[in-house]
Amino acid sequence: IPNKKIGIVGSGLIGRSWAMLFAAQGYKVHIFDILPQQIEVALADIEGQLQNLEKSGQLRGKLNAAQQFACIKGTVRLEDAVKDALLVQECVPENLALKRKVWKGVDEVAGNNTIFSSSTSTFFPSTFSDHLKNKQNFIVSHPVNPPYYVPLVEIVPAPWTLPAVAKKTREIMEEIGQTAVSFSKEIPGFAVNRIQYAILNETWHLVNDGVLNVADIDKVMSDGLGMRYAFLGILETTHLNAEGFTKYCDSYANTMYSVSKEFKPTPKYEGPTVSAIAKQLEANVPLDKLKAKRDWRDKCLVKLSQLKKEM
């Protein structure tokens, strides 16, 4: 019988999403949180989300909402959540000392056949697994928010992670319908944030130098580059934009090089440009309307993920 037990440690935004993704495939999910009332809130929220997804026809998997919710249990005992689990997905706040402590606790009770998977957005796996007796089972599985609609998971090993653990983690992520990418080693920012920061750096300079205003620079992504990047990666985009990648490089290498050479040093994201950009953004989306705009974004992502499935 395959081991279907999943332990979720930390029941905030990301912990809830993981719980739903695993339950959609019938995994037996055990959610632990340091705050007992947070578990209650999380379970109620998950139940509501699953019902809404069912009503709108967005529910993943073959089970109905009630069956999926029945796969998820809350517990105030860490051991109950993690002992002999197939995989433990840690989703506690982004604080290195806290993550070290939480993993030490998991390590003491989990067992050596359990994959130790962290949702960290920023920390190298090696910085909070070196002290574990089962560190060979440790890996980062970094999701993108909201994971229910944006399937990418960055799988990043520590130097001591067993290749079999990286492989099995990828298989599990793919089984629950996520899109896994496997890193050969840890690197700051993984890939999502490295690429995001490269775009953000150039965007900052274009606004700071008065070349484009905030509303217009954002259209460069939302109504330009972003439209094709929702379907094709950057490399395949270039491949299609010429008669193949080799021709693309033949044709554009000099231009790419001479434009890129002009790139300015990395901005520090401080000074009057911060408030100038904030002011223009807030004129369009005031701070008290962020929630409404996020809800709209999630609706858009639902439609986009449907379209991607159809294509």
Place of tokens 């909070």: 128
Is 154 a binder of ligand NAD (CB under 6 A)?
A: no
Is 102 a binder of ligand NAD (CB under 6 A)?
A: yes
Tokens of 257: 């090089």
Q: Which of 7, 143, 151, 157 binds ligand NAD (CB under 6 A)?
A: 143
**Closest separation between CB of residue 122 and ligand NAD, Å?**
6
The alpha carbon dihedral of 7, 9, 14, 20 has a sign of positive
Site string for ligand NAD, 1-20 (x = CB under 6 A): --------xxxxxxx-----
Tokens of 13: 């935004």
38 vs 237, beta carbon nearer ligand NAD: 38
**Closest separation between CB of residue 85 and ligand NAD, Å?**
15
DSSP assigned state of 148: T
Place of tokens 């929220």: 45
Say how many residues touch ligand NAD, by CB under 6 A: 23
DSSP assigned state of 223: I
197 vs 252, beta carbon nearer ligand NAD: 197
33 vs 107, beta carbon nearer ligand NAD: 33
Judged by CB under 6 A, the chain residues 34 through 63 that form the site for ligand NAD are 34-35, 38
Tokens of 154: 């960055």
Per CB under 6 A, the segment of 28-36, 226-234, 235-243, 295-303 that binds ligand NAD is: 28-36
Residues 6+ apart with CB under 8 A from 124: 156, 158, 186, 188
Rounded alpha-carbon distances, angstroms, from residue 20 to 15, 59, 129, 295, 308: 9, 10, 26, 18, 21
Per CB under 6 A, the segment of 23-31, 90-98, 151-159, 201-209 that binds ligand NAD is: 90-98
Phi, psi of 83 (to 5 degrees): -60, 125
Q: How many residues does the chain have?
A: 311
DSSP assigned state of 127: G
How many C-beta atoms lie closer than 10 Å to residue 133's C-beta?
10
Q: Which of 8, 24, 30, 33 binds ligand NAD (CB under 6 A)?
A: 33
**Closest separation between CB of residue 285 and ligand NAD, Å?**
18
Site string for ligand NAD, 232-271 (x = CB under 6 A): ----------------------------------------
Residue nearest to ligand NAD (CB): 12
- In what helix (H) or strand (E) does residue 77 lie, and over which residues does it extend? none
Residues that bind ligand NAD (CB under 6 A): 9-15, 32-35, 38, 91-94, 102, 119-121, 142-143, 145
